[in-house]
């Protein structure tokens, strides 16, 4: 089967660590079918001169073609109007991809869009032009936040029900998709996998030794984008409440993002107890989880965050916000605590309780066990095959 994937969340030469979940699932899918990826890049006139403040400027150096994780990846540019373009983003996206997509007429059996808007909405229109079914995969923020904005909401309610299938990574996310008007029979839950060779219980002392960390003290770890909506500023405010009286606690933030400078300013006020590590290779993330007492995930909205699955697989409890699909994963106090989003005071209290608690790492790993990316890709392929047969 020939699959054309369209998504704006995928790694590239400038951001090689972006969207590891899509890279891993698509790599596994590509071993089971013919898969080409259109990993789109935002663009507007003069984008290259805006590198300091706009993603489009930073991504201007991305090459037109790459080979990533064994996949052929094309990076077409789509016209992006910063700040004000949400209402027409799917139509601009569609127009920008016409040449790349229509050049594949007759060579595609199904279009797979990963992200609801504008990717999924545009894919429905492009699939109609190609005469092939469309499957839209949704992840969390695209449905829990973007789909609630006035422009995208109206467009998705009109267009998303035309998709042959909509794939959600969690049951709560699937229910949100149904509320957008997609028939329940077309909505399928395909859970993300994890790399079980990397994410498994590790000895804390060994992990710290490999990272060059002192054996004493307690580490709290955040892994993800440094963005306001990821709650990273809330986390630093919460930790600032603890640090003066808890010199045994340290906080490591693994990742980059648009809020990095704000995070650095807040971290500087706390001092050496906070480390901003920037983006790290995927193989290093299990070491930080293994060295830690807990993973903290203070997002304002989420789908089913893979880093949470990975932390549980490493036998580490979590402190996370009660949003999106997270309560579906942290179902018992033995796995950690959930707190309201945007509440640094509650977050600080939970961090201290869990850091000082006694948790059974082997039991956490067993409770949080998740299938591999190969299993996830096999399920996704079944959905794609059903969409083609149904068409």
Q: Is the peptide bond before 100 cis (omega within 30 degrees of 0)?
A: no
pLDDT at res. 33: 97
Short-list 140, 138, 132, 122, CA closest to 187: 138
- What spatial distance separates the first Cα and last Cα of the chain, rounded to whole Å? 14
Cα→Cα distances 252→14, 88, 220, Å: 24, 39, 6
Q: Distance (Å, rounded) from C-alpha 146 to C-alpha 308?
A: 22
Please say whether the beta carbons of 135 and 112 come within 8 A.
Answer: yes
> What integer pLDDT is reported at residue 54 of this predicted model?
64
> Measuring CA to CA, how many Å separate 274 from each of 94, 249, 359?
43, 9, 24
Instruction: Specify the pairing of strand 318-321 against strand 294-297.
Output: parallel
φ, ψ of residue 16 in degrees (nearest 5): -70, -15
Contact 386, 210 (CB under 8 A): no
d(CA 3, CA 377): 13
Nearest residue to 127 (alpha-carbon basis) of 94, 161, 166, 158: 94
Partners of 218 in the β-ladder: 249
| Backbone phi and psi for residue 284, each to the nearest 5 degrees, phi listed first | -85, -20
Task: Report d(CA 221, CA 200) in Å as an integer.
Answer: 16
CA-atom Rg of the chain in angstroms: 21
**121-131: b (≥16 Cβ within 10 Å) or e:** bbbbbbbeebe
Instruction: Say what the pLDDT of residue 52 is.
Output: 62
Q: Is 36 helix (H, G, I), strand (E, B) or coil?
A: strand
What Å distances lie between residue 345 and 213, 235, 238, 290, 299, CA to CA? 28, 10, 6, 26, 15
* pTM of the entire predicted model: 0.86
Residue 341 · residue 231 · CB < 8 Å:
yes
> Other C-beta atoms within 10 Å of 278: how many?
12
The mean pLDDT values, 10 residues at a time, for the chain of 391 residues are 97 92 96 97 81 71 95 95 80 95 95 97 97 96 91 95 96 93 96 92 95 96 95 98 96 94 95 96 95 97 89 97 89 95 97 96 87 95 96 67
DSSP state, 72?
A: E
Residue 15 to residue 269: CA distance in whole angstroms = 29
Length of the chain, in residues:
391
Closest CA relative to residue 321, chosen from 335, 300, 292, 344: 300
The distance of Cα 316 from the centroid of its chain, to the nearest Å, equals 20
The predicted pLDDT at position 47 comes to 73
């Amino acid at each position: 089967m020939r699959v054309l994937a369209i998504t704006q969340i995928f790694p590239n030469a400038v951001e090689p660590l972006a969207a590891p979940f899509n890279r891993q699932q698509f790599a596994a899918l590509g071993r089971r079918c013919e898969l080409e990826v259109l990993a789109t890049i935002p663009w507007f006139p003069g984008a290259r001169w805006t590198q300091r403040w706009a993603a489009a400027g930073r991504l201007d150096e991305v090459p037109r073609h790459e080979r990533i994780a064994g996949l052929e990846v094309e990076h077409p540019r789509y016209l992006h109007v910063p700040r004000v373009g949400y209402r027409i983003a799917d139509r601009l996206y569609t127009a920008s991809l016409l040449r790349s997509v229509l050049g594949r007429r007759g060579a595609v059996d199904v279009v797979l869009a990963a992200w609801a808007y504008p990717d999924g909405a545009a894919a429905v229109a492009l699939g109609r032009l190609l005469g092939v079914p469309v499957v839209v995969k949704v992840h969390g923020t695209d449905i829990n936040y973007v789909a609630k904005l006035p422009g995208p909401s109206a467009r998705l309610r009109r267009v998303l029900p035309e998709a042959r299938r909509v794939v959600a990574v969690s049951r709560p996310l699937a229910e949100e998709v149904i509320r957008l008007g997609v028939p329940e029979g077309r909505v399928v839950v395909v859970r993300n996998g994890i790399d079980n060779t990397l994410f498994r219980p590790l000895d804390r002392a060994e992990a710290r030794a490999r990272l060059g960390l002192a054996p004493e003290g307690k580490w709290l770890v955040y892994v993800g984008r440094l963005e306001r909506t990821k709650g990273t500023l809330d986390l630093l405010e919460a930790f600032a409440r603890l640090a003066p009286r808890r010199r045994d606690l340290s906080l490591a933030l693994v990742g980059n993002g648009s809020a990095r400078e704000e995070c650095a300013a807040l971290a500087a006020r706390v001092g050496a107890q906070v480390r901003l590590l920037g983006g790290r290779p995927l193989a290093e993330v299990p070491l930080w989880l293994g060295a830690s007492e807990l993973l903290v995930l203070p997002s304002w909205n989420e789908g089913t965050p893979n880093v949470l699955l990975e932390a549980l697989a490493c036998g580490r409890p979590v402190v996370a916000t009660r949003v999106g699909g997270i309560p579906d994963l942290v179902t018992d106090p033995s796995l950690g605590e959930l707190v309201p989003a945007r509440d640094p005071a509650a977050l600080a209290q939970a961090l201290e309780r869990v850091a000082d608690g006694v948790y059974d790492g082997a039991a956490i790993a067993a409770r949080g066990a998740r299938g591999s990316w190969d299993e996830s890709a096999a399920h996704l392929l079944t959905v794609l095959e059903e969409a083609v047969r149904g068409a």
